[in-house]
Amino acid sequence: MSEHKRKVRKLWFRAKTYGWGWFPISWQGWAITVLYALLFTLTFLLFSGWIGAAAEAEVGTRDIVFGVLEFLAVIALLSYTLYRICVKWGEKPGWRWGKK
């Protein structure tokens, strides 16, 4: 494949200087980050509202445990999706100890 036909991929996330992870550097990266934060917050608010209603209704412990597990599953799915987007549209992941 010739050099001019190869599509250059624009990064959405840059690797952190110290540690492991990414931070957004383009509007697409910021949009994904804000969307993640909004969905995380919405999930938390819905869950905390459900816990409050469950406590007032004296729901059984088993139902509360399953509610917590559902909440954790949604958060894990959101976080994994963000991770996969960062891997695809970000710099190569790895542990970094500062500038070389």
Give the range of the structural domain holding residue 52, as residue numbers without chain letter: 30-91
Whole-prediction pTM value? 0.78
pLDDT in tens, 56-100: 777 777 777 888 899 999 999 999 999 999 999 999 888 888 776
Residue 72 lies in a domain: yes
Residue 10 lies in a domain: no
Residue 68 lies in a domain: yes
**What whole-number distance in Å separates Cα of residue 86 and Cα of residue 32?**
9
Residue 73 lies in a domain: yes
What is the H or E stretch that residue 18 is in? strand 18-19
User: What residues have CB less than 8 Å from 78, skipping those under 6 apart?
Assistant: 36, 39, 40, 43
**What whole-number distance in Å separates Cα of residue 97 and Cα of residue 70?**
37
Domain count, the chain: 1
Mean pLDDT of 20-26: 92
Residue 11 lies in a domain: no
